[in-house]
Amino acid sequence: MNLHEFQAKQLLAQYGVAVPAGEVCSTPEQARDIAQKLFSHGEKMVVVKSQIHAGGRGKGTFKSGFQGGVKLCKTAEDVFEKAKAMIGQVLVTKQTGADGRLVSRLLVAAAPVIKKEIYLAVLLDRDSSRPLIMASTEGGVDIEEVAAHTPEKILKEIIDPVVGIMPYQARKLANALGFKGDLIGHATKMILGVYKTWWETDASMLEINPLCIIEGPDGKESLLAVDAKMSLDDNALYRHKNLQEMRDLGEEAPLEIEASKFSLNYIKLDGNIACLVNGAGLAMATMDIIQHFGGNPANFLDVGGGASKEQVTAAFKIILSDPNVKGILVNIFGGIMQCDIIATGIVAAVKETNLTLPLVVRLEGNNVALGKKILQESGLAVISADSMADGAKKVVQAVNH
């Protein structure tokens, strides 16, 4: 589950990580009030940030034509105007796809003068099966670019999960990042706090980019987490009631939400050949083989090991809600499941949804002969396939006709 920037910052602040003063709001009036408060506390500049689950907001464009999902403002009136142009509008960034995302909330926050930008992240290191802290002096830019071109600028510290993070590990990073004097202490505290946030919330990824050195009115330097990106381990949400409430259904594809109600694992893609498969690996491989034979998969869909009649019917309805779909490939390896039961489910689903699109079915496994017979005798125009390759070829051909 992904979190919004403002939610990540709320969590970070709870673990003692310094974040810019600010609040989230959903109307231009509220945005103006928050800005007024910040200006009255002596802030010179305030930033208005669209809250969506996608990066590239600053360089994004609203469908209304308004440029930029992140705006710096010098007056509360300006904040009001910018907020008015953003709230309720759809923002398109390089990560949202052409559909963009509706901006319903803004983060209005202090925007201090930044002296230097750092990158800091915590994630799972799959090679060592341990938590990994990644840091770089090259903050504020795409870290994948840094990793690709100047990998020596990425610092890594692996944490022993039994011991937990030790302060020396944070100091080592602070030192390697070039911090001096008081800032070593600030950075150490910040790294410890960010790690603790990651660990205690069961996060998958927590990225502070940029982490900024700023200069206060007294000329003293300090550190602030200016932007934050965070995702949580779905498998651990059961033990975090407070985090479950942070789920924003508005950010999820409606069909994916519908699918999750039936314990179906569905991911919408851009193609026109839908697939319905049991098992995640086989579902991925089915998409691959459709592509291999010149087709374009419309979705990933794993109906799981059980695949009841209700689930299969729900799966068909979800697939058919995608207007791009021009054909369907059902690929079931009925290892434990009986193919005749699955075939009965398919027949019922086809009838209930009044399916008119070409449907190719590949059944294999338990009671496969009976399963195929049920499909044949149903009177439905089901195209039967003998193997995955046969099924993929047939559905691609049917769609291209």
Ramachandran assignment for 219, one of left (phi > 0), alpha (psi -120 to 50 degrees), beta (any other): left
Residue 239 touching another protein (CB under 8 A): yes
Nearest distance from C-beta of residue 133 to another protein, angstroms? 14
Residue 279 touching another protein (CB under 8 A): yes
Q: Which stretch binds another protein (CB under 8 A): 43-51, 219-227, 300-308, 373-381?
A: 300-308
- Contact between 339 and 371 under an 8 Å Cβ cutoff? The reply is yes
How far, CA to CA in Å, does 400 sit from each of 246, 288, 326, 350? 44, 18, 9, 21
Residues 110, 270: Cα–Cα separation, whole Å:
39
Q: Which stretch binds another protein (CB under 8 A): 140-148, 167-175, 351-359, 371-379?
A: 140-148
Closer to another protein by Cβ: residue 129 or 242: 129
Of these, 283, 347, 360, 361, which contacts another protein (CB under 8 A)?
A: 283
| Whether 215 is catalytic | no
User: Of all helices (H) and strands (E), which one includes residue 275?
Assistant: strand 273-277
| Whether 119 is catalytic | yes
Closer to another protein by Cβ: residue 98 or 162: 162
Q: Which two tokens stand for residue 384?
A: 């039967």
Helix ranges, 177-275 (H) = 182-200, 241-244, 254-261
**59 Cα distance to chain centroid:** 19
CA dihedral for 340, 341, 342, 346, sign (positive or negative): positive
Nearest distance from C-beta of residue 358 to another protein, angstroms? 20
Residue 235 touching another protein (CB under 8 A): yes
Closer to another protein by Cβ: residue 222 or 324: 324
Q: Which two tokens stand for residue 238?
A: 């059961």
How far, CA to CA in Å, does 144 sit from each of 8, 54, 138, 151, 237? 21, 16, 11, 9, 28
Active-site pick, 43, 138, 207, 266: 207
Residue 333 touching another protein (CB under 8 A): yes
Residue with tokens 């374009």: 296
Residue 39 touching another protein (CB under 8 A): no
Residue 18 touching another protein (CB under 8 A): no
Nearest distance from C-beta of residue 162 to another protein, angstroms? 5
Angle at 109 between CA 94 and CA 57, to 5 degrees: 5
Of these, 137, 300, 309, 373, which contacts another protein (CB under 8 A)?
A: 300
Active-site pick, 5, 119, 138, 157: 119
Residue 364 touching another protein (CB under 8 A): yes
Nearest distance from C-beta of residue 329 to another protein, angstroms? 13
Closer to another protein by Cβ: residue 216 or 306: 306
Angle at 166 between CA 160 and CA 167, to 5 degrees: 155
Side chain identity at residue 80, one-letter code: F
Secondary structure (3-state) at 189: helix
Side chain identity at residue 327, one-letter code: G
Q: Which stretch binds another protein (CB under 8 A): 106-114, 173-181, 209-217, 265-273?
A: 265-273
How far, CA to CA in Å, does 309 sit from each of 260, 300, 343? 16, 19, 9
Residue 369 touching another protein (CB under 8 A): no
Give the residues lining the site for another protein (CB under 8 A): 124, 126-127, 129-131, 143-144, 147-148, 160-162, 199, 202, 204, 233, 235-236, 238-239, 265, 267, 269, 277-292, 297, 300, 302, 305, 333, 335-336, 364-366, 387-390, 392
Catalytic residue numbers, as ranges: 119, 207
